[in-house]
Amino acid sequence: GEVQVEVPDSRSVCGCPRYTCKKAEVCVFQGVTVLGPGQSLIQYYEGELCYTVHCLTHRDTHTGYYAMDVSAVNCSQKCGPVCLSLTHTHTKLPS
């Protein structure tokens, strides 16, 4: 979650570069799942609840990592068993 970066213009007395740790340019969901900016994830939990997580492109001032848009839905009510049998088809309409 963190990367080591050299601090510009901060050489020590002996001429050695100085380093600091900086939060990586990622989202961290629940302390374990790492997403890059623009990536999304659907996380299922016990029962019928699931979370949709989308990694944004700006930093969260509280965590230092990139911010996330997180929404929770009841998966079975929103979609139902028909989701398992749905397929996407593309039909070209005559002009």
Sequence ranges of the domains in the chain: 2-79
3-state secondary structure of 7: coil
Beta bridge partners of 50: 44, 73
- CB 18 within 8 Å of CB 8: no
Mean pLDDT (the chain, rounded): 75
- DSSP 3-state of 85: helix
Which percentage of the chain shows pLDDT scores above 90?
A: 21
pLDDT tens string 56-79:
999 999 989 999 998 887 776 655
pLDDT in tens, 40-54: 988 766 667 777 889
49 and 72 in contact (C-beta within 8 Å)? yes
Q: Residue 85 above 50 pLDDT?
A: no
User: Whole-angstrom Cα distance, residue 93 to residue 30?
Assistant: 45
CB atoms within 10 A of CB 15: 6
Rounded-to-integer distance, Cα 33 and Cα 50, Å: 15
